[in-house]
Structure 1
């Protein structure tokens, strides 16, 4: 499978199955487009006609044709899909849990308008995870991790810092268990920053491998979508803390993470605002919500959003060349190696390798399924009881989704989010269409940035 596109003056050819990326001239670009469906003589004739006034000679066309054939023989163009055979054994493979999302607090001190968790309460009652439940969750993770050494635990909410004392206790318990079981815990935390202070920052810098700091960008954008419970803005309170936090972590191992909506389709300005405030690790993502919500991304918004990604990509190239660059999460792409085959095919591992734990210990496939009783898998005391849910998620991969099979982006997005698929189509083996279009655009921009860096 070949994907061709033009962006920012670059002619880019992606060989999907090998992952090879080629930046080519106009002649080669046009010839590759015709290669699989036309005879050689027909291609030569058409190129002579098209480039008659450009000084292209028949020898140039023959040379280009030979280069294309050499790339094909070298496994860099028109390669076959060797990955589908791996899917056969996916359901048979042993389930090893490697990561948990601990819902340490079903409560929040903000009232974000787009919150999928219903202001932190997940359409239920306020609740806080006890140390006993959290301890049992870590025990469950250790027991289900098999021979895997590195384990991940994300403290999530609501706002997790509303239950900070239990976080500290669980981290200490986890560190104690590392020595006993030969494991290594990688703790992470997502916070809105309201409760951050020097004591908490010191603890996070010592114990958290990564910290996600939630802010939507410009003051007016953030304060409209992320107000406090008394409808006051949060920007002025959290921005100084986030700047301090990022600097204290030496601008690594964190993200400022925002959400853009229909109300700020010019979101590149929010990304660049965060960069201008000194942040080097930035993620601003499109809201995912019901279509009837006024802030929802609409299909009519897509052209503007695509344009914004192009603006952002060009500006990132300029800043990188001026040694004033930053990382944008959705443009970060490893073309030399990247994820393993299983990761490329099945994504985040929700429902199998990755589970969410409620404050009372129930297990769900991921944080976005919490509260949907159809996806309640078990609990940390008795383990996974509904193995049929786990088996269903084992088969959630790019070959189980018709929309993914012929999509050039499938090995980069791994089929997209199962929760988004379910929420929009009632099945985890479909795909959220608007999200797909945006993901494809981000991948194209990310590859273009790599092309610019290679010059």
Structure 2
């Protein structure tokens, strides 16, 4: 089961594409304690899932602005569920204070948490969007964090956000990070940006293909692994939304939401950690999620598409539970075409190797 704890909704950066409502709401230890009690009640009510790995995501804003509560949560779960809890966290890599490294914190996190660091590529690309409140870029500080993680051989990922103003450099930035020692580089389009158009999506497609051909030329086994993960991310078989059934997002104030993008949208509050779930509201959401309607349901890729599961995202992006974002839909078609071409190339390598 998956629980996301929003330990803060505040952040020391002002990234241009951030989807979080930047407010200085921070989870205090009392709310964290109630959230842990809520998690325990959910687990107790689902005995068939108690042997499953418990996944706790520590989220923000910038989560490390509330490091004491992060440690409190980690230590509480390790005490209650020893050996059966996995922790994940995405950080902007600039904390604790945005100017000086704190290696003790990084050492602790790397020992207990699966870390992802947000970085968009080289300095020019990164600093276009990922800036402090005064407009100063955050690249140099983030790279100090990455260099330290590399120096200690710690496991971590990096995550790039692809926008209309950096998509032309997408492949170059991916390769830059990979050659800087970031061996797992994830990426996602900023679907909320209205500036996407056909020309920019074509550029995205060319860059995506260039990344995979680069990977194939460097390390065929790793390229196959990356392609497998890419397929699983975008084309795995989909079911209905599991929000507030096996996956819960707990906001800084203790409100409960079904998914990350729903947090802050009052229509999707499903209860709070003090009084529990609002079963009537959850039943209404379940009714919405269980319907397959609209043009998306007739698409050949529907059963393997996010649009089938993530109807809340559809609603936030388009105003319609049963219509996906045109940007996402175009990207899915690009991903499918890219996978087909790469499968053909990799099949050719397999034949030539015999």
Is this a same-fold pair by TM over 0.5?
yes
TM-score (norm 2): 0.85
Cα distance per residue 1:218-273 (max 9 Å; x no partner)? 211111100112211111111121133255455x4x32011111111221221111
- Cα distance change on mapping 1:274 and 1:205 into 2, 3 Å: same
| 3-state secondary structure, aligned to 1:333 | helix
Distance in 1 separating the partners of 2:309 and 2:174: 23
TM-score (norm 1): 0.67
Residue pair 2:292, 2:322 contacting (<8 A) in 1 also: no
- Cα distance change on mapping 1:391 and 1:176 into 2, 3 Å: farther
Give the superposition deviation at 1:360: 1.3
Distance in 2 separating the partners of 1:427 and 1:318: 43
Distance in 2 separating the partners of 1:404 and 1:271: 34
Distance in 2 separating the partners of 1:418 and 1:330: 25
Distance in 2 separating the partners of 1:260 and 1:105: 25
Distance in 2 separating the partners of 1:153 and 1:394: 27
Give the superposition deviation at 1:409: 6.0
| 3-state secondary structure, aligned to 2:249 | strand
- Cα distance change on mapping 1:143 and 1:351 into 2, 3 Å: closer
Residue pair 1:282, 1:328 contacting (<8 A) in 2 also: no
Structure 2 segments unaligned to the other structure (5+ residues)? 96-100
Q: Does 2:204 match 1:305?
A: yes
| 3-state secondary structure, aligned to 1:171 | helix
Structure 1 segments unaligned to the other structure (5+ residues)? 1-97
Which residue in the other structure is 1:318 paired with?
Answer: 217
- Cα distance change on mapping 1:367 and 1:413 into 2, 3 Å: closer
- Cα distance change on mapping 1:311 and 1:153 into 2, 3 Å: same
Give the superposition deviation at 1:406: 2.5
Distance in 2 separating the partners of 1:142 and 1:380: 11
Comparing 134-143 with 422-431, greater Cα deviation is found at 422-431
Distance in 2 separating the partners of 1:407 and 1:398: 17
Q: Does 2:308 match 1:415?
A: yes
Matched pairs, number: 336
RMSD: 2.8
Comparing 324-333 with 260-269, greater Cα deviation is found at 324-333
Larger radius of gyration: 1
Greater helix fraction, Structure 1 or Structure 2:
2
Matches within 5 A, 1:151-190: 151-178=54-81, 184-190=84-90
Give the superposition deviation at 1:290: 5.0
Give the superposition deviation at 1:388: 3.1
Give the superposition deviation at 1:412: 5.5
Comparing 104-113 with 302-311, greater Cα deviation is found at 302-311
Which of 168, 171, 176 is the equivalent residue of 1:268? Answer: 171
